[in-house]
Structure formats: structure tokens, C-alpha cells
Amino acid sequence: MLDATPLVFNSLFWAAVVLAVVFAGAIVQAGLGMGFGLSVAPLLALIDPMMVPTAALFLGSATSFAGAWAEREHIVWREVGIGFAGRFIGILVGGWVLLSLTDVKLFSLVFGCTILFAVVLTTIGWQLALNGFNLVTMGLLSGFTGIITSVGAPPLALIYQNRPAIPSRPTLATFFALGGAFSLAFIFASGRGDWVDIQMALFMVPAAITGTWFGRRLRGRFDTRYRPALLMIALGASILLIMRGLS
């Protein structure tokens, strides 16, 4: 699955499309504190499966770190620590699943099903209490889906979706930055990641930085009106990935 040359290095058109997708996703991440993975990863997987999860994890971690650093004084470290206990277990379990996905069609199928699961979690409207049990449980799910698809936000969104933006936004950003870093450490230690993944991530970094800059200036304009559009994009992409995997 990883032997071919990435599409973004062979086609100017698709390179431009990828940069546009990353730019838009970074705006969403900076404005909402989450959403980069759910809006970007399914589209990247459709364009070229080689770009997920590793290159997307690099970008997601970087944009999350930028968001956490910008509002670092509001981070609730206790919540980060409790949730990350579950995330670490999820990373180990999800990493084992990821290493077993060596066939492109099987990877597309599992990736699509995982994204569909994330969309369902986001839309069901559950409101979970902010307590240790829920943080660990949703952290575990976040780690599992995050290392396979780079999309780890939906499980924790069930806890934080109706809480104040401050301190929820920087706390979640910190969680995703650390979770992404540990996921990447697992991927590269296991041999699943390589230099090509780093090259793809570096190629997309300028779009992520520019989108983050714009997103911070548009932050006050982000509200729930954008949520249905993001979910429809993720839902459509997940269905197409599942169809690709079953074809």
C-alpha cells in the first residue's frame, strides 16, 4: 500500500486540491478547536490513501498544538491527563488494527467504516457528563479512531460539545496534540511510517499554517451553522470509501 509514489507529487491538479482541503480544514480547526481530522482525513483518503493516517496526523497534531499554545493559560491539565490514560490504550489497540491493514481495499473499507462511526457519534446528540469514567472511555475511543484515521475528536465531543469554548477548546486541542504525537510515535516505531509520509506532511504544512492564521481571525464567526456541512462532507466521503473497499 505504501510503495507507490504519492499522487500529490505526480499531479499539479491534485496537489492544488489537497492544499485547498488542508487550508479549509485548518480554518475549521482554528475556529472551533476541533474538526480538522473529520473534515480533512476522509477527503485525503479518497484522493490518495497514502496520505492517511500518518501525514494527516502530522498536520492534525500541528494545528492542535498551535491552538493549544495560543490559549495555553486556559488548559485544564487534569482533564487532559485523565482522558489521555484512555487514549493511550486506544492507540495501542487501534495501532494493532492499523498494522494489519496491508490491502488498499481493506484499508479503505475499515477507514470508511471508522469515519462513519465518527459521524454517527457526532450526530446522535448524546450529552455525556464530564467525569473521569467518561473521559477515560471516550479517550480510549478517540485513540482507537485517531490512529487509524487521524480523526479522534467525535468521541470527546460528546462530553465537550455544549460546554464553554474556554476552557474546552484549548483543553481538547492539547489532548489531540499529545494524542497525535503518541500515535505518530507508535506508527514510526512499528515501521508503518516512513520518510514519504514526512514529505507529504511538509508539503501540506504551508496550507495548514495559512488556514490556521485565517481561522483565528474568523473565530467569532464560527457557530453550529457549519456543523451540518462538515458532517455531510465526512458522511459522503465515508460512504464512497466503503464502496471502494467493497468493490
Q: Look at residue 178 in the predicted model and tell me its pLDDT.
A: 96
- Does the residue 2 lie in any domain? no
- Does the residue 1 lie in any domain? no
Query: Could you read off the pLDDT of 178-235 as tens digits, one per residue?
Result: 999 999 999 999 999 999 999 999 999 999 999 988 887 876 666 556 667 778 888 9
- Does the residue 230 lie in any domain? yes
Region of 7 on the Ramachandran plot (φ > 0 left; ψ -120 to 50 alpha; else beta): alpha
Q: Which domain covers residue 131, as residue numbers?
A: 11-246
Give the DSSP H or E segment for 239: helix 227-246
Other Cβ atoms within 10 Å of 200 Cβ, number: 24
Query: Could you read off the pLDDT of 22-47 as tens digits, one per residue?
Result: 999 888 877 766 678 888 999 999 99
* Count of alpha carbons within 13 angstroms of residue 240, beta-carbon side: 14
- Does the residue 18 lie in any domain? yes
Distance (Å, rounded) from C-alpha 207 to C-alpha 24?
9
Query: What's the predicted TM-score (pTM) here?
Result: 0.89
- Does the residue 4 lie in any domain? no
Number of domains making up the chain: 1
- Does the residue 237 lie in any domain? yes
What Cα–Cα distance (Å) separates residue 196 from each residue in 18, 42, 55, 76, 152? Answer: 16, 20, 9, 36, 23
Q: Look at residue 25 in the predicted model and tell me its pLDDT.
A: 87
> Please, what is the Cα angle at 107 between 24 and 2, to 5 degrees?
80
Distance (Å, rounded) from C-alpha 29 to C-alpha 215?
7
- Does the residue 6 lie in any domain? no
